Amino acid sequence: MTDLYQTQRAMRNMRLAAMQRGVVAILDIGTSKIACLVLRFDGAEAYREPDGIGSLAGQSAFRVIGAATTRSRGVRFGEIDAMQETERAVRTAVQAAQKMANVRVDHVIACFSGAEPRSYGLAGEIELQDSTVSEHDVARVLASCEVPDFGEGREVLHAQPVNFALDHRASLADPRGQIGNRLACDMHLLTIDADAIENLLYCIKRCDMELAGIASSAYASGISSLVEDEQELGAACIDMGGGSTGLSIFIRKHMIYADSVRLGGDHVTQDISKGLQVSLNVAERIKTFYGGVVATGMDDREMIELGGDTGDWEHDRRTVSRSELIGIMRPRVEEILEEVRARLDGAGFEHLPSQQIVLTGGASQIPGLDGLAPKILGNNVRIGRPLRVQGLPQAATGAAFASCVGLSLFAAHPQDEWWDFEMPMDRYPARSLKRALKWFKDNW
Amino acid sequence: MQQIGIEDHPRRRDPAPSRWAFRFQRLWLTPLFRTTLRVGVPILTVAFFAGWYFSEAANREALRDKIAEIRASVAERPEFQVKLMAIDGASEELSADIREVLPVDFPISSFDLDLEQMRAVVEQLDAIGAAKLRIRPGGILQIDVTERVPAVVWRLGRAIELLDATGRRVAAISRRSQRLDLPLVVGEGADAAVAEALRLVAAAVPIEDRLRGLVRVGARRWDLVLDREQRILLPENGAVEALEQMIALDQAKDLLARDLVAVDMRNARRPTLRMAPPAVEELRRIKALEIGESD
């Protein structure tokens, strides 16, 4: 795990370097679109110590100076499937964003939704050497967490301390400087497929840029779509993307669970395509223009021209009523939501004090979803849109850009992760310690 | 039969930039590269072509000729022509001298007149203290001259010259009698101490009618020469005070009317008299008489 520790630390350093330079790109690699934002860090926060949450909830620290979206290529279920194609799409998005920003960007913070994220809750406990908790003690308690065997080919994406307990006092946000004997911590560990990260790294590298951080898009959407009290009291954010639906559960401003369902808006499109015998492009257009999940009497009479260019008049003149379209879409949306419900149940969401669920992402814009979702997910459901950040173009303020915006906020105010603390001595590989001892013996 | 419409749907171009296009755009957005290309390259290009053009002597010559031609076309306009020279504040003689040292062929363009240099030339004339040159509207070169005022006549060997109060030569004269109104100074280095000489002359007003001149001795101190070959030897420092003391003595004891050859005031506390030989004889005779009487 030292390896990962080094990689993540290197990424963190790169992010700091990027902040120093003032420009960083945000890349959201989705199944249906790839979005790129260029952020400039020159707000008031750049010149003063972070003190509390900062002005405008910390958003004044950065400004979006470039934004571009392109149709995604070579991505399936939120994972890179065809490297060359994805690379081209990334280049398109980055080039357009750079052109708008009129600045060259070298550092990229990326997020993606797939790669089967799995959450683990870790707990660790140590006796304090000193009665006061120091940074070193925090590092020790984080290192003392028993890491589960998450299997071969998995990589840790997030390892965030979510809770500290000192003696009998639990739920401390920051135990440093406090007095006690036993320090315990809970850590949330999110692992994903190592191949996905490798592919992403390689892809970014092929675009002549450096990866300065990665995040799960479910996490990023949660940051941007959940309002502060929802994050505090406990809520789930469901990011309904194209190829996969991510869900993240927040409580006390920390993510405690993330998962993804490998179903999304693209499957709805496929259903329409198959059900109506039209091409995917036409199906997508029909879905966005006429789609819905709750049929009314009016919809029987609204006929949709399917079009086509086969030359067969009968085929090209087909029409379908909107209620038929809804009849195709609704089961799939229900299936997605039921799958999400199952994941939430599996995560024990019903035990949280607040049952708020926020739907966001491109597929959450289906008309009538706010009527359908409460039937499956419970009463406290709302459709969320991301926070508004400075300089974001109007076209990029929709729900589909929740993870982009969240990633921007994440870049401005990163959550403390395990690798932000110095690794305690005893976790260093024994060999290097032995070598140091040998050097002393040889030379003294 | 040729199939129609196969070209109606050409393959859509890939919107993605190629790797090289992408790289080039990033390079172009690099500030240093951009500045170099936008500023450095044009400058270099211009410099290169200019250098290449001027590396040939004929081109350089042509450019120089062109510049000279343009300059001449401006300078020869009637507005810039200077037609005559007017000299104010100088005597006839001096005016002639000035015209001689400034050989200007009128009409001339005012661009070709270097007034500063001309002023330096004019001021090198001994008789001129200061000169102001300007070009008056109407194409007149106006020279305002302040002449040096001769203060003393200086004789050195056979040459007789007029000096002003600062010791600068003003003019040469052939005979002393031409300027009898000015005091005469003689001796080497006298020109360096004209100011002191003038102060001495001013102090010597009571014996003015007897004053013949001043002699600079050893380029160091003054001797006052009176008629009847009388001399007053003055010290190097405090000559004026010594002279005033001498005059006070004269007024009290009528000293200078006596048969003295020289009064040595070089030591102010011990003025020494040198008498003429007959006076010495007389003094000795009187002394002898006195001694004889007492004997």
Asked if residue A153 is part of any domain, the answer here is yes
Dihedral (C-alpha) B288, B291, B292, B294: value to the nearest 10 degrees? 160
Percent of chain B residues past pLDDT 90, beyond the cut? 11
Q: What are the tokens at A436?
A: 């140091």
Distance in Å from the first CA to the final CA of chain A: 33
Asked if residue A109 is part of any domain, the answer here is no
Inspect the interface and report whether the beta carbons of A92 and B30 lie closer than 8 Å. Answer: no
**What's the whole-number mean pLDDT along residues B54-75?**
91
What's the rounded Cα separation, in Å, for the pair A185 and A173? 10
Number of domains in chain A: 1
Asked if residue A206 is part of any domain, the answer here is no
The reported pLDDT for the residue numbered A50 is 54
What's the rounded Cα separation, in Å, for the pair B265 and B241? 10
Inspect the interface and report whether the beta carbons of A89 and B14 lie closer than 8 Å. Answer: no
Domains within chain B, CATH numbers bracketed: 78-147 (3.10.20.310), 184-284 (3.40.50.11690)
For residue B266, count other CB atoms closer than 10 A to its CB.
Answer: 15
Amino acid, res. B198 = L
The arrangement of strands across the sheet holding A245-251 comes to A254-261, A245-251, A235-240, A356-360, A381-383
Higher-confidence position of A406 and B105: A406
Confidence class for position B46, pLDDT limits 50, 70, 90: very high
What's the rounded Cα separation, in Å, for the pair A220 and A232? 16
Instruction: Work out the minimum CA distance from B30 to partner chain A, whole angstroms.
Output: 6
Q: Are A216 and A200 in contact (CB under 8 A)?
A: no
Q: Which residue of A has its CA nearest to B14?
A: A88
Which residue from B262, B288, B286, B290 is spatially nearest to B274, judged by alpha carbons?
A: B262
What's the rounded Cα separation, in Å, for the pair A23 and A105? 6
Q: Are A351 and A326 in contact (CB under 8 A)?
A: no
pLDDT tens for each residue of B69-104 = 998 888 888 888 888 888 888 788 888 888 888 877
> Which stretches of chain A score pLDDT less than 50?
1
The reported pLDDT for the residue numbered B11 is 66
Angstrom distances, CA of residue B61 to CA of B50, B53, B67, B71: 14, 11, 10, 15
Q: Which helix (H) or strand (E) holds A171?
A: strand A169-172
The reported pLDDT for the residue numbered A281 is 87
The reported pLDDT for the residue numbered A202 is 87
Inspect the interface and report whether the beta carbons of A98 and B29 lie closer than 8 Å. Answer: yes
By the CB < 8 Å criterion, does B25 face chain A?
Answer: yes
By the CB < 8 Å criterion, does B238 face chain A?
Answer: no
The reported pLDDT for the residue numbered B10 is 59
What's the rounded Cα separation, in Å, for the pair B276 and A250? 134
Inspect the interface and report whether the beta carbons of A98 and B23 lie closer than 8 Å. Answer: no
Instruction: Work out the minimum CA distance from A88 to partner chain B, whole angstroms.
Output: 5
Q: What are the tokens at A242?
A: 């194209």
Asked if residue A150 is part of any domain, the answer here is yes
**What's the whole-number mean pLDDT along residues B176-205?**
84
Asked if residue A81 is part of any domain, the answer here is no
Instruction: Write out residues 197-216 of A within 8 Å (CB-CB) of B.
Output: 206-208
Q: Are A441 and A433 in contact (CB under 8 A)?
A: no
Out of A88, A98, A102, name the one closest to residue B16 (CB): A88
Asked if residue A175 is part of any domain, the answer here is yes
By the CB < 8 Å criterion, does A95 face chain B?
Answer: yes
Determine how β-strand B272-275 pairs with β-strand B260-264: antiparallel
What's the rounded Cα separation, in Å, for the pair A334 and A328? 11
Q: Residue A145 belongs to what domain range? A: 118-193
Q: Are B217 and B249 in contact (CB under 8 A)?
A: no
Amino acid, res. A326 = I
pLDDT tens for each residue of B238-278 = 888 888 888 888 888 888 888 888 888 888 788 888 888 88
Choose the mutation target among B26, B33, B34 for the interface with A, i.e. most A CBs under 10 Å: B26
**What's the whole-number mean pLDDT along residues B192-213?**
85
What's the rounded Cα separation, in Å, for the pair A198 and A195? 5
CATH number of the domain to which A148 belongs: 3.30.1490.110
Q: Are A285 and A265 in contact (CB under 8 A)?
A: no
What's the rounded Cα separation, in Å, for the pair B231 and B263? 6
Inspect the interface and report whether the beta carbons of A104 and B26 lie closer than 8 Å. Answer: yes
- A80: β partners: A75
Per DSSP, the three-state class of B201 is helix
pTM: predicted TM-score of the whole model, two decimal places: 0.65
| Helices (H), ranges, A348-395 | 369-377
The reported pLDDT for the residue numbered A73 is 86
Choose the mutation target among B9, B18, B29 for the interface with A, i.e. most A CBs under 10 Å: B29
Asked if residue A169 is part of any domain, the answer here is yes
Residue B60, pLDDT above cutoff 70: yes
Which residue from A165, A213, A176 is spatially nearest to A417, judged by alpha carbons?
A: A213
Instruction: Work out the minimum CA distance from B23 to partner chain A, whole angstroms.
Output: 8
Task: Determine which of B29-33, B114-118, B127-131 has the lowest per-residue pLDDT on average.
Answer: B127-131
Question: What does the DSSP 8-state code read for residue B8?
Answer: S
- A237: β partners: A248, A358
Chain A positions touching B16 (Cβ under 8 A) are: 70, 73, 88-89, 91-92
By the CB < 8 Å criterion, does B22 face chain A?
Answer: yes
Per DSSP, the three-state class of B173 is strand
Beta strands in chain B (DSSP E): 81-82, 84-88, 108-109, 128-136, 140-147, 150-156, 159-164, 169-173, 184-186, 211-217, 221-226, 231-233, 260-264, 272-275
Asked if residue A272 is part of any domain, the answer here is no
Rg for chain A (alpha carbons), in Å?
24
By the CB < 8 Å criterion, does B32 face chain A?
Answer: no
Distance in Å from the first CA to the final CA of chain B: 179
Is the sign of the CA dihedral B29, B33, B39, B42 positive or negative? negative
> What number of H helices and E strands is found in chain A?
14, 18
Out of B14, B19, B30, name the one closest to residue A104 (CB): B30
The reported pLDDT for the residue numbered B245 is 85
Task: Give residue for tokens 């990866």.
Answer: A211
What's the rounded Cα separation, in Å, for the pair A381 and B149? 113
By the CB < 8 Å criterion, does A304 face chain B?
Answer: no
Task: Give residue for tokens 């040459």.
Answer: B159
For residue A356, count other CB atoms closer than 10 A to its CB.
Answer: 22
Q: Are A109 and A213 in contact (CB under 8 A)?
A: yes
Q: Are A365 and A399 in contact (CB under 8 A)?
A: yes
